[in-house]
C-alpha cells in the first residue's frame, strides 16, 4: 500500500493504517534525529515524541509536502523545544547557584510589589503570566499545558499585564 492511501485511511481513523504508516517512517525519523542531535538516547526520546505528535495531528497533514518531510518538521520542532527547555533549565540552575553563592537576599521593594500584585490575580491568570514572562514559554505551549485555547492564554496575559501595570502605577503614584 502506498503512502497516500495509508495517509487517507489514517486520517479517517484507521488505527492499523496509522500504525503501519508510522512504522514505515520511524527509523528514518530516528536516523534524522540522531544526525542532528548526535545523541542516540535523545533521538529515541524525540522520535517517540514526534510519533505522538503525528498521531495527535494526522488530521492536519495536508499533503503539501511528503509525509516524511512533515514528520521531520515535527521532529525538528521537538528538538528545538528540547533545546529551549535545556537553556531555561541551565539559566535556572545558574541563577540558583548564584543565589547560593551570594546568599539569599530580601527581594527589592519593586519585586515585592510585583509578586504581591501577581498573587492578587486569579491563579490561572497569574500562572499564564509567569509561564510567559518569567519562564519564556510560548502561548501555544501554555495553552497546551493548561488545556485551553491559545486565544484565552493571550487574553489572560494581556488583561493581567494591563491590570498589573495599572496597579503598580497606583502604588508608585
**Spatial separation of the C-alpha atoms in residues 28 and 34, rounded to whole Å:** 10
Identify the domain containing residue 33 by its residue range: 3-84
Q: How many domains is the chain built from?
A: 2
Considering the entire predicted model, what is its pTM?
Answer: 0.56
Record the cell numbers describing residue 118, joined without a space.
501577581
Q: Is residue 39 part of a domain?
A: yes
Record the cell numbers describing residue 107, joined without a space.
527581594
Q: Is residue 44 part of a domain?
A: yes
Record the cell numbers describing residue 75, joined without a space.
521532529
In this predicted model, what pLDDT tens digit does every residue of 65-106 receive, in sequence order? 899 999 999 999 999 999 999 998 888 888 877 776 666 566
| Average pLDDT in the chain | 87
pLDDT at residue 35 tops 90? yes
* CATH number for 165: 1.10.10.10
Q: Is residue 99 part of a domain?
A: no
DSSP assignment letter at 58? G
Domain check: are 74 and 143 in the same one?
A: no
Amino acid at each position: 500500500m502506498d503512502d497516500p492511501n495509508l495517509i487517507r485511511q489514517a486520517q479517517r481513523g484507521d488505527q492499523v493504517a496509522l500504525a503501519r504508516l508510522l512504522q514505515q517512517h520511524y527509523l528514518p525519523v530516528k536516523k534524522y534525529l540522531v544526525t542532528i542531535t548526535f545523541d542516540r538516547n535523545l533521538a529515541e526520546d524525540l522520535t517517540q515524541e514526534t510519533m505522538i505528535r503525528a498521531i495527535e495531528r494526522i488530521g492536519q497533514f495536508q499533503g503539501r509536502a511528503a509525509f516524511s518531510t512533515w514528520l521531520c518538521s515535527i521532529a525538528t520542532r521537538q528538538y528545538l523545544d528540547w533545546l529551549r527547555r535545556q537553556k531555561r533549565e541551565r539559566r535556572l540552575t545558574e541563577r540558583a547557584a548564584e543565589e547560593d553563592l551570594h546568599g539569599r537576599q530580601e527581594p527589592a521593594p519593586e519585586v515585592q510589589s510585583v509578586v504581591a500584585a501577581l498573587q492578587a490575580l486569579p491563579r490561572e491568570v497569574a500562572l499564564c503570566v509567569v509561564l510567559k514572562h518569567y519562564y519564556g514559554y510560548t502561548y501555544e505551549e501554555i495553552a497546551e499545558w493548561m488545556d485551553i485555547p491559545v486565544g484565552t492564554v493571550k487574553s489572560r496575559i494581556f488583561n493581567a499585564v494591563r491590570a498589573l501595570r495599572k496597579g503598580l502605577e497606583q502604588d508608585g503614584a
